[in-house]
């Protein structure tokens, strides 16, 4: 294979890529969001500067992807922390767990999503919307919300989905130094909200050394939402370079 041909293959393995070279479109992406108040000291231990913490709020989310071009259906769960960057309010994506390897590899390599493999589920059980996350054979999170108790304003739902998000992109080199270490920003703009509801909710997190969601403990559940959307993820843009001026 010629050098110019190698350059046309952006993923590994070279001849059997881990994910399709396409921009995925999400159809019928279903969210369960539970926003809760946590320990400010716990947030300060995990949120990287120059992001700033205001109110100590975390959003636990479970997303059921009904149809995704290039990946197929899958489910994802994680934590997003409310932050400030240069006066702009947004969320720092702290952890994401999903049951689809191509989406995991693409999220980490093409963008900066902090994705690892896990076993999340989203389903309805006797009048409750239930979101769970397992790591291996152990339960690490259980969220419940009253199923379609009250309609949620569509604009409010859209604002929840399209909040700016920040992530840490780290690419190690071959000799114990970093090749890339950047804070990046993205924001979903191509979104259609189909349905949106709110209602009472509860959230339990269980300690696990490899899935430490409980390190951001639940002090108070603030709000919850159940949203159905179509959307396309926007590309990320670097906003801060941790290695600038650093002699490697």
pLDDT tens sequence across 89-133: 999 999 999 999 999 999 998 899 999 999 999 999 999 999 999
| Residue 165 structure tokens | 């998000």
Low pLDDT (below 50) residues in the chain = 247-248
Q: Coil, strand or helix: which one is 213?
A: helix
- The pLDDT of residue 247: 45
Reply yes or no on whether 244 is catalytic.
Answer: no
β-pair type (237-241, 178-186): antiparallel
- The pLDDT of residue 7: 86
Strands (E), 104-234: 115-117, 119-125, 128-135, 138-146, 150-151, 165-172, 178-186, 190-198, 201-205, 220-232
- The pLDDT of residue 25: 92
Helices (H), the chain: 3-6, 40-44, 101-109, 154-161
- The pLDDT of residue 246: 54
Q: What are phi and psi of 43, to 5 degrees?
A: -65, -40
Question: Active-site residue among 115, 169, 195, 244?
Answer: 115
Residue 155 gets the label, from left (phi > 0), alpha (psi -120 to 50) or beta, of alpha
- The pLDDT of residue 68: 95
| Residue 148 structure tokens | 């379609």
- The pLDDT of residue 170: 94
């Amino acid at each position: 294979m010629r050098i110019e041909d190698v350059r046309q293959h952006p993923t590994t393995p070279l001849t059997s890529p881990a994910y399709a070279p396409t921009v995925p479109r999400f159809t019928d992406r279903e969210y369960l969001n539970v926003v809760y108040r946590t320990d400010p000291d716990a947030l300060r231990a995990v949120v990287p500067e120059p992001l700033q913490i205001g109110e100590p709020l975390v959003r636990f989310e479970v997303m059921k992807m009904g149809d995704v071009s290039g990946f197929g259906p899958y489910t994802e769960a994680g934590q997003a922390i409310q932050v400030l960057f240069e006066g702009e309010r947004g969320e720092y994506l702290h952890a994401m767990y999903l049951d689809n390897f191509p989406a995991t590899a693409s999220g980490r390599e093409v963008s900066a999503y902090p994705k690892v493999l896990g076993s999340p589920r989203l389903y309805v059980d006797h009048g409750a919307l239930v979101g769970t996350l397992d790591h291996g054979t152990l339960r690490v999170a259980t969220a419940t919300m009253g199923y379609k108790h009250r309609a949620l304003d569509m604009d409010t739902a859209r604002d929840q989905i399209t909040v700016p998000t920040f992530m840490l992109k780290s690419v190690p080199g071959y000799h114990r130094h970093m090749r890339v270490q950047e804070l990046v920003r993205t924001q979903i703009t191509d979104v259609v909200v189909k349905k949106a509801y709110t209602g009472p909710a509860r959230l339990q997190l269980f300690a696990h050394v490899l899935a430490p969601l409980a390190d951001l403990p639940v002090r108070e559940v603030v709000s919850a939402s159940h949203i159905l959307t179509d959307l396309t993820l926007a590309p990320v843009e670097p906003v801060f370079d941790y290695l600038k001026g650093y002699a490697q």
